[in-house]
Structure 1
Amino acid sequence: MSLTLEAMRKCFPGASGPVCGFRPGNAYDAIYVRDSAYIAALAKYAYPSDHLRTVVEEALTLQFDDGDESLDTRDLLPRAPWPTRPGTGATSAVVDYDRRREKANVASDEEVSLIRAAYQYFQSDGGATWLRTQVRGTRVFDRLTLALNWVLERRTDPKTGLIIRPHTTDWGDVELSDDGIAPGSAAPTVWTASIYDQAVTYRALREMAIMASALGDRDRAETYDRKADTLRDRTHQALWIPADGYFRTHVHVDTSPSGMPATLPNNGHHNFDEDEIVSVANAIAVYAGLANDIETSRIITVLERARLASGSPLAGVSLFPAYPAGTFRNAQMSPGSYQNGAVWDWWAGTQIMAEFARGYSNAGFAHLAAISRAWQTHPEDIPEWRPLPPDRGRGVRVPLSTAGSGHYAAAAGTVGEAVIHGLFGLELSRDSFAVTPRLGSLNGQARIRLPDANGTGRFLAFGQRIRRLEGSLFLTAVIETNHPAPGWFSIRLPSDQTPTSVSVDGTPLPLPWKIGVVGADIMLTVGAIEPGHHVLTAVWDVNARQ
């Protein structure tokens, strides 16, 4: 993963000053904002924080608004019927040395991806001080507000209240009529409301609420939380399929955004049941918190059932079953190819992270181990996607081939996050730290840091050892950090039985112990913990039970 990040690292003089970030892969020349939001989860522990900050500030500097005529930019004009200017608050899909602005009109997640990237830097280093920083005369937070408002005002269906985009597979940028000449700018044949767009917008609203609260703007924080609650409720009403236990990929809507020609709903209706398609965006809904605990359990089961039915040895199956041949005009969108049912390690990492975060660590570890085995066959490269032949079927042991770009950094970001934050449960932020390891009965150790420009910085380390002796079970967990503020500690227990003793730094943990079930995991919550060096010991003494 570190090899991929370093290979894709790119720095250039931008409109906002020096910019450093990461290209998505070696087939891409620019830094993409959406990918940066996922890469940041790993990059923040490997590179100085300017590799997060400067990409966001450059994108905000190039943001479309009434005062951008003074900018030295090169706008790539979309094809009709898309307007030549997308409107105040819209953001470019890319940032690059030539200061070009590309608005991928088919997508509706670029602005909320920018919010996600900004939130990553806000948490790791920027804080409220950075949110008050001026970008072209406007605070960072207020420019993020403009970006969110663009989505809420220009991409919301008035009837359902859901975020809409033209008919892609879900998260992709290939529309039904896309001819492959200029991806992301095909004329829409029908508009849809997808589970992917609802999940990432819901997450953006929650993150904007947190940042508003950090600024002391309680009213705006409450407004964003209410909007998130409303979007969640509307999403469940329109997209949740109670009988099947997952969110439908999307629904077709009969309206189009202001300024766009009307499209007829039957233009996008198919002679097959789209509700049978299981989208990996369900995992994003889980990770974002859009799915409740009961729904999460059902989604985890459905995603695994779809993976097995597809014959994929890996998580991250983008869609199953795929859209039939001929559904999309673009030849690359045949069943099992590219965004139509291929396997993406990028989304596998997100799915695995969701499984760990919501208490399904056995599933998360099994899927993580499968990716590890796959990456060992190409240790110096991470692929963009893997074709999944629609007739592959269950039980096929032949490894999947690789396709698309090499050194795919977004996959490095999400899988890296699944290891660091998912499996080991390590999280360092500007204001605190958290240790929530989900190793269970496994031994392991990990160390992360938030590097300063001089290569030093705050660090957080964790190690766990499981021993069995004469029928008894011993868990020893060690935490060490130089963070100046208190943190939080909870740990997945290796047994579903209550320990006979638990101590921290040699002192018995006061009763009653906070042991609870999260998903399928048994978690012991220690709670607030001071920085420094700590040792937790838990014992399951077989003799004490007799």
Structure 2
Amino acid sequence: MKNVLVLIGLVGVSLTACGPDSRSDRVLAARISQDTSMQTVKSMAQATVGSGFNAGDGYAEVWIRDYNTFITLATELHPAETIKENLRVFFRLQGEDGNIVDGFVSKEKAQTASVGYTYIYTELEPDYAGHKNTVETDQESSLVQAVYKYVSSSGDNAFLRDTVGGQTVARRMERAMDFLMAHRYDRKYGLLWGATTADWGDVQPEHTWGVYLTDSTHYAIDIYDNAMFLIALDNLIELLPEVQPKWSTIHDEIAKHCMAHLWDKERQKFIPHVYLDGSPFPSGFNEMDVYYHGGTAVAIEAGLLSQAQVKHALDRMVANVQQSGAATIGLTLYPTYPAGSFKNEGMYPYGYQNGGDWDWFGGRMIQQLIHYGLVTEAYEQVQPMLRRAVDNHGFYEWYTVDNLPNGSGTFRGAAGVLYDTIVLFEEFAAANR
């Protein structure tokens, strides 16, 4: 949590400074306070998250990577027992090796589902079935982060002592982190691995669906998985100080290796992948040119970049938006992978995770700009996100390069991220009246 505390301190300095900067902060604070679109989107987010827990109207399941990003708002709107029960379901479905499923759905829906998941059942969980996209390496980190957000929002530290199958929530969180080190850790690079995907995505190129590891998978290391792990370790240490001796050392090593192996000093960017067994992409395509927006935003949240590097990242994202014609810095990546790079037909250039525009991640970058004191820039970049939520009467999963809504509607991840972002703007405005 040291990085987080430093960031809060930096923001605090900007909020209380005197002189010209203080005057400009007051002007910006007044603009934020008078911005009716923020209040409209905030109310819309409350209605969306208040209506359920599945990821969106295109998903039957409750996904942990989504729940992690709207659980703070959900804790405000739903009974604490409901929030905790959702978390308990993930722990009841936890594998013997400590792994965490992506999502859960009622057993009845699992039996009639048309998707191709091989559902996971445990004796501990009588009502729900789980599924796991094995190409990902963020489920365990997402659950630890979600528990942290619930406890931080509610003050319910006793939840860590709740037992699931004879093990405390605290112990099960550690087991999830142990799974990553035992089964997803590459000793050569000192980092976590997963399948090759586009930035933070869960679709590998080698299969028409692409969510399961297969014999054709090309294993790789990327910044998103490792940054999520770093954030989870920070959260774990803050919740359970007694585990610091073990996990702080691992945290620091992961952070060091991220910058040693994934950071391109010359280009001032994170490289897309370190491959463990070759690339799945054509040799004529220079993947090193691809800039990952989502992974960069999460790396910033993990405290890996300086304020100057954050500003450079923003400038690069803005340039990518201008060059691509996209609407917001939620643009997944740029340039996109060429047509045919993924067997999944939805992964065409500027489709889905191959250059789709997602508030779910763009909003996280806005949050980090605020934390790093770049509030004016954050306010400018959030405007098109707010505008399209209002114009489209809700939150969509992603947007095309032409800013048309696509994917699942009532996408709760986007609603939660934008809500949390607006709260940060409100806190800035309140501190600079």
Do the structures match in fold with TM over 0.5? yes
- What is the Cα deviation at residue 233 of structure 1? 0.5
| Contact 1:8-1:26 at 8 Å conserved across structures | no
Letter in 1 for 2:101: S
How much does 1:246 deviate? 1.6
Deviation at 1:329, TM superposition (A): 1.0
- Deviation of 1:236 (Å): 0.2
The answer to whether the aligner puts 1:375 opposite 2:389 as a matched pair is yes
TM-score computed with the length of structure 2 as normaliser: 0.81
Alignment partner of 1:196 is 2:224: yes
- Confirm whether residue 64 of structure 1 aligns to residue 71 of structure 2: no
Amino acid aligned to 2:261:
A
Q: Match for residue 240 of structure 1?
A: 263
SS of the aligned residue for 2:275 comes to strand
The 3 A distance-change label for structure 1 pair 188 and 22 is farther
Percent identity at matched positions? 26
The correspondence for 1:97, drawn from 100, 106, 111, is 106
Question: Structure 1 residue 267: deviation in Å?
Answer: 4.5
> Which of 419, 423, 426 is residue 424 of structure 1 equivalent to?
426
**How many Å separate the matches in 2 of 1:4 and 1:124?**
17
Of Structure 1 and Structure 2, the greater helix share is in: 2
Equivalent residue, structure 2, for 1:54: 85
Alignment-derived partner of residue 507 in structure 1: none
Q: Residues 148 and 235 of structure 2 are in contact (CA less than 8 Å); yes or no, is this contact kept in structure 1?
A: yes
- Output the CA distance in 2 between the equivalents of 1:301 and 1:226: 33
The farther-off stretch of 356-365 and 296-305 is 296-305
Letter in 2 for 1:314: T
Counting only pairs closer than 5 Å after superposition, residues 317-332 of structure 1 correspond to structure 2 as: 317-332=331-346
Q: Deviations 1:379-432 (Å, cap 9, x if unpaired)?
A: 2x21111122xxxxxxxxxx5111101111100011111110x2123xxxxxxx
One-letter amino acid matched to 1:60: F
User: Which residue is equivalent to 2:137?
Assistant: 108
Distance 1:349 1:204, change over 3 A: same
Q: Taking structure 1 as reference, are residues 357 and 108 closer, same or farther at Cα in structure 2, changes over 3 Å only? A: same
1:288 shift after superposition: 2.2
Contact 1:346 1:410 in 2 (8 A): yes
What TM-score does the superposition give when structure 1 sets the normalisation length? 0.65
Q: Deviation per CA, 1:165-189: give whole Å up to 9, x if none.
A: 1111121111111212x74455442
- Would you say the 8 A contact 2:46–2:77 is kept in 1? no
Is 1:231 aligned with 2:254? yes
Q: Is the Cα contact below 8 Å between 1:202 and 1:290 reproduced in 2?
A: no
Asked if structure 1 preserves the Cα contact closer than 8 Å seen for 2:326 and 2:400, the reply is no
Counterparts of 2:54 and 2:247 in 1: how far apart (Å)? 31
Report the equivalent of 2:233: 205
Which amino acid is the alignment partner of residue 302 of structure 1? R
C-alpha contact 1:240 1:246 (8 A) present in aligned 2: yes
CA RMSD of aligned residues (A): 2.0
Do 1:157 and 1:163's aligned partners in 2 also have CA atoms closer than 8 Å?
Answer: yes
CA contact (8 A) 1:32 1:94 kept: yes
- The amino acid of 1:95's aligned partner reads F
User: Which whole-Å CA distance do the structure 1 matches of 2:146 and 2:212 have between them?
Assistant: 21
- 1:4/1:407 contact within 8 Å kept: no
Q: 2:56 aligns with which of 21, 25, 46?
A: 25
Q: Residues 148, 291 of structure 1: CA spacing in aligned structure 2 closer, same or farther, 3 A cutoff?
A: same
Q: Distance in 2 between matches of 1:28 and 1:186?
A: 24
Give the secondary-structure state (helix, strand or coil) at the position aligned to 1:221.
helix
Q: Which residue identity does 1:63 align to in structure 2?
A: Q
Deviation at 1:304, TM superposition (A): 1.8
Moved over 6 A (4+): none
2:170 aligns to what? 141
Residues in 2 aligned to 1:130 and 1:305: alpha-carbon distance in whole angstroms: 45
- 161, 176, 200: which one aligns with 1:132: 161
Q: Which runs of 5+ in 1 are unaligned?
A: 11-20, 66-87, 255-264, 389-398, 426-436, 440-462, 465-474, 478-546
Change (3 A) 1:294 1:367: closer
SS in structure 1 of the partner of residue 220 of structure 2:
strand
Contact 2:200 2:225 in 1 (8 A): yes
The one-letter amino acid of 2:322's match is L
Are 1:271 and 2:280 counterparts? no
Instruction: Tell which structure's C-alpha radius of gyration is larger.
Output: 1
SS in 1 for 2:197: coil
Change (3 A) 1:157 1:308: same
C-alpha distance in structure 2 between counterparts of 1:187 and 1:8, whole Å: 39
Q: Aligned AA for 2:266? A: A
Q: For the Cα contact (< 8 Å) 2:50–2:77, is it kept in 1?
A: no
From the superposition, tell whether residues 126 and 97 of structure 1 become closer, same or farther in structure 2 (CA, over 3 Å). Answer: farther
Larger RCO (alpha carbons 8 Å, 6+ apart): 2
**Distance between the aligned counterparts of 2:80 and 2:378, measured in 1?**
29
Secondary structure of the corresponding residue to residue 45 of structure 1: helix
Deviations 1:65-114 (A, max 9, x none): 2xxxxxxxxxxxxxxxxxxxxxx101111122221121211111011101
Q: Give how far 1:195 is off.
A: 0.8
Deviation at 1:150, TM superposition (A): 0.8
Contact 1:387 1:400 in 2 (8 A): yes
Q: Distance in 1 between matches of 2:314 and 2:45?
A: 29
CA shift for structure 1 position 130: 1.7
Tell me the residue number matched to 2:418. 415
Correspondences of 1:530-545 after superposition (within 5 Å): none
Point out where structure 2 has 5 or more consecutive residues left out of the alignment: 1-41, 108-127
